[in-house]
Amino acid sequence: DIQMTQSPSSVSASVGDRVTITCRASQGISNWLAWYQQKPGKAPKLLIYAASNLQSGVPSRFSGSGSGTDFSLTISSLQPEDFAVYYCQQGDSFPYTFGQGTKVEIK
Amino acid sequence: EVHLLESGGGLVQPGGSLRLSCAASGFTFSTYAMTWVRQAPGKGLEWVSIISGSGASTTHVESVKGRFTISRDNSKNTVYLQMNSLGADDTAVYYCARGMTPKIYDFHMDVWGKGTTVTVSS
């Protein structure tokens, strides 16, 4: 199975900060990497697919990059509604796997 | 509006069975692969099962193979997850999600339901 490792596990940040979360795959996954946002008690929401494609309706302050084994999600200017848990997911090989999650908390 | 609505969750005894359903609306159901993802209490996301748009291709995570079966009825715009021999480790919120193409490969999930809770306990 492909292991997805996110870092950091949690980050404290202020409104307006730039936040970057990284995700490393245990083997190459081309660009089959997605990022999801999950708020408490809610379903995940797709933010980025195929490593760098912004999902329709997602604010442009979210961006993704990377290929192969190393990927990142950047929030250029953190907004109050962005405090949540973020997961990466590889869609390259079965079983599809998620990172352990990164919690973005208010500083 | 694109919408997924799960149902069928509940409390079941160890060794028991449940069938989850996910009713889709607002899109051409047969042209999208569908999947189930679960989340144990306080834990992260775990992909469980996937089925192609036609229903011809399916696969599951190893931990549920032989116990869970995914299926779909494109005439009813519904995907199902039959879960047998349930154990405590299966306790989770189960989400239905849509893929971005009809195929089960190169897969991301763009639409999610709100989830249905399965609790396995005596």
Model confidence at A106: pLDDT above 90:
no
Q: 3-class SS at A20?
A: strand
> What's the confidence (pLDDT) of residue A107?
87
pLDDT lower than 50: segments of chain B:
none
> What's the confidence (pLDDT) of residue B103?
93
Supply the DSSP string of chain B, one letter for each residue.
Answer: --EEEEE--EEE-TT--EEEEEEEESS-GGGS-EEEEEE-TT--EEEEEEE-SSS--EEE-GGGTTTEEEEEETTTTEEEEEE-S--GGG-EEEEEEEESSSSSSS--EEEE---EEEEE--
Say whether A87 and B44 touch across the interface (CB within 8 A).
Answer: yes
Say whether A43 and B106 touch across the interface (CB within 8 A).
Answer: no
Check CB contact of A83 with chain B, cutoff 8 Å. Answer: no
Q: 3-class SS at A82?
A: helix
> What's the confidence (pLDDT) of residue A77?
97
For residue A53, give every residue at least 6 positions away whose Cβ sits within 8 Å of its Cβ, in sequence order, or none. A64
pLDDT in tens, A52-95: 999 999 999 999 999 999 999 999 999 999 999 999 999 999 99
Taking a contact as any Cβ pair under 8 Å apart, which residues of chain A between 50 and 69 contact chain B? 50, 55
The residue behind tokens 């089925």 is B51
Say whether B108 and A89 touch across the interface (CB within 8 A).
Answer: yes
